Structure 1
Amino acid sequence: MHGHVRTVTGDEPISMIKVSVYRPDLTLVDRAYTNDDGSYSVDVPAGETVTVRFDTHHSLDNADGWQPSLVTDAVTDDAVPLDRLLVPVGQFADTARGIDVLAAFLLASAVEGPEYAAHATTRLSQIKQNTLLLQHIQAALLQHFTERADA
Structure 2
Amino acid sequence: MFGHVRAIDDKKPIFMIKVSVYRGDLSLIDRAYTDEEGRYEVEIPEGELVTIGFDTHYSLTNADDWQPSVIANVIADDEMPLDRYLMRRGQVFDEASAMDALNGYVLTAATTHRRADASYAATAANRLTMLKQHTLVLQSLQRTLLEHFENQT
After TM superposition, the score normalised by the length of structure 1 is: 0.95
SS of residue in 2 equivalent to 1:31: strand
Per the TM alignment, residue 97 of structure 1 is displaced from its structure 2 partner at its CA by 1.1
1:141 alignment partner in structure 2:
145
- 1:32 and 1:23 map into 2 onto residues whose CA distance is 16
The reply on whether 1:33 has 2:37 as its aligned counterpart is: no
2:15 alignment partner in structure 1:
15
The ranges of structure 1 where at least 4 consecutive aligned residues each deviate by more than 6 angstroms after the TM superposition are none
Matches within 5 A, 1:125-140: 125-140=129-144
1:117 alignment partner in structure 2:
121
The reply on whether 1:59 has 2:63 as its aligned counterpart is: no
- 1:41 and 1:124 map into 2 onto residues whose CA distance is 28
Residues 46 and 77 of structure 2 are in contact (CA less than 8 Å); yes or no, is this contact kept in structure 1?
yes
Task: Describe the superposition over 1:1-53 as per-residue Cα deviations: whole angstroms up to 9, x where unpaired.
Answer: 00000000352000000000000000000000000000000011110000000
Work out the percentage of aligned pairs sharing the same amino acid.
51
The reply on whether 1:6 has 2:6 as its aligned counterpart is: yes
- 1:144 and 1:45 map into 2 onto residues whose CA distance is 33
Count of residue correspondences: 149
The reply on whether 1:104 has 2:104 as its aligned counterpart is: yes
- 1:9 and 1:121 map into 2 onto residues whose CA distance is 23
1:24 alignment partner in structure 2:
24
SS of residue in 1 equivalent to 2:31: strand
Per the TM alignment, residue 99 of structure 1 is displaced from its structure 2 partner at its CA by 1.6
2:95 alignment partner in structure 1:
95
Matches within 5 A, 1:66-85: 66-85=66-85
- 2:58 and 2:39 map into 1 onto residues whose CA distance is 20
Residues 9 and 93 of structure 2 are in contact (CA less than 8 Å); yes or no, is this contact kept in structure 1?
no
Residues 22 and 52 of structure 1 are in contact (CA less than 8 Å); yes or no, is this contact kept in structure 2?
yes
Counterpart residue identity of residue 16, structure 1: M
Residues 6 and 85 of structure 2 are in contact (CA less than 8 Å); yes or no, is this contact kept in structure 1?
yes
- 2:27 and 2:10 map into 1 onto residues whose CA distance is 30
Structure 2 runs not aligned, ≥5 long: none
Q: Give the aligned CA root-mean-square deviation in angstroms.
A: 1.0
Residues 53 and 70 of structure 1 are in contact (CA less than 8 Å); yes or no, is this contact kept in structure 2?
yes
